[in-house]
């Protein structure tokens, strides 16, 4: 795991806590980062400067001083432009820890990041205080009650972020979404979790419905009620993100990528990719390398 964060930061992590939480005081050499797919949820505080990133292989996001970037686990991230004076710190939280600390509030995180694609929030006056407190707590692992301090600090920090997300999400309702029950939200969150961590995601809806012990029709109803999108749309978007990442950041051949992602052959993969991206896999790779 630490290897991932050396690539991300250009430096050793400041603190690693039980392989669940990684804290970095400062992200150095940000402009040298290659695109990576985060295994953990990233919370990056931009203290100075400006960063332009591409998330998911297609969406551009700008982060400026005083803002926090949120990147959910398994999301492809590629810095595109970085100001010379950029300064940022980062906290990486495993899915397990995020769910454990937030409890039912994980629905706020999931809805904001996956449904509304809210990746940037303004930190206002609280960020400096929380960051300073978190830094001192995470570093002092000799505390007798360190684990309790760490969990409490992490929960406060995440709840403040969720509060900000609630304000943003409530002002941007999803189109075409019907009222959803708490059970539907829970099942939809489980669907996203299974989808994001599946190595070969290109399955029919019934595959994921069986994993959830529900019918494909019910999964479709849940997905549309909660997100306004069909489960197949979520599956396709997630598959394409894997395609972008492998074409851009590996030297695997199109045939090898096709096999890794579970396509029957490279011809089918090429047709699938072109229908979604508008270009062939080879053309996309060449464009990115130029």
- Compute mean pLDDT per 10 residues along the chain, 290 residues long, and list them: 47 64 70 61 87 81 90 80 82 87 87 85 68 63 71 86 83 53 85 88 94 95 88 92 86 93 93 92 85
Residue 114 is predicted with a pLDDT of: 82
pLDDT confidence of residue 126: 64
* Burial class of 186 by CB neighbour count within 10 A (0 to 12, 13 to 18, 19+): middle
Q: How many beta carbons lie within 10 A of that of residue 157, not counting itself? A: 20
Q: What is the pTM of this model?
A: 0.70
- If you search the block for the tokens 């494909």, which residue do you land on? 216
Instruction: Say if residues 106 and 189 touch (Cβ distance below 8 Å).
Output: yes
Domains, the chain:
2-170 (2.60.120.280), 182-289 (1.10.10.60)
DSSP state of 242: H
**Which residues have C-beta within 8 Å of that of residue 196, sequence separation ≥ 6?**
72, 73, 74, 238
The pLDDT of residue 75: 80
Read off the tokens for 113. Answer: 């990041």
Whole-angstrom Cα distance, residue 167 to residue 190?
24
């Amino acid at each position: 795991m630490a290897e991932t964060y050396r690539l991300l930061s250009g430096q050793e992590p400041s603190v690693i806590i039980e392989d669940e939480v990684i804290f970095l005081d400062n992200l150095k050499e940000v402009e040298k980062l290659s695109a990576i797919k985060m295994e953990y949820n990233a919370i990056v505080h931009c203290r100075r400067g400006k960063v332009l990133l591409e998330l998911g292989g297609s969406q551009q996001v700008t982060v400026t001083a005083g803002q926090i970037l949120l990147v959910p686990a398994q999301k492809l991230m590629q810095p595109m432009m970085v100001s010379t004076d950029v300064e940022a710190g980062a906290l990486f939280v495993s899915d397990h820890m995020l769910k454990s600390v937030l409890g039912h509030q994980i629905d706020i995180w999931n809805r904001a990041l996956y449904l509304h694609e809210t990746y940037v929030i303004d930190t206002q006056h609280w960020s400096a205080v929380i960051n300073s407190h978190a830094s001192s707590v995470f570093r002092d692992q000799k505390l007798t009650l360190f684990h309790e301090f760490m969990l409490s600090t992490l929960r406060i920090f995440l709840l403040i972020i969720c509060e900000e997300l609630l304000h943003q999400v409530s002002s941007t309702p999803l189109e075409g979404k019907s009222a959803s029950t708490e059970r539907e939200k829970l099942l939809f969150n489980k669907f996203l979790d299974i989808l994001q961590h599946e190595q070969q995601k290109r399955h029919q809806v019934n595959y994921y419905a069986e994993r959830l012990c529900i019918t494909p029709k019910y999964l479709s109803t849940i997905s549309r009620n909660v997100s306004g999108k069909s489960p197949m749309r979520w599956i396709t978007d997630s598959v394409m993100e894997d395609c972008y990442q492998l074409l851009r950041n590996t030297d695997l051949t199109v045939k090898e990528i096709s096999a890794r992602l579970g396509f029957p052959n490279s011809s089918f993969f090429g047709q699938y990719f072109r229908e979604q991206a508008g270009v062939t896999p080879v053309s996309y790779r060449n464009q990115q390398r130029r």
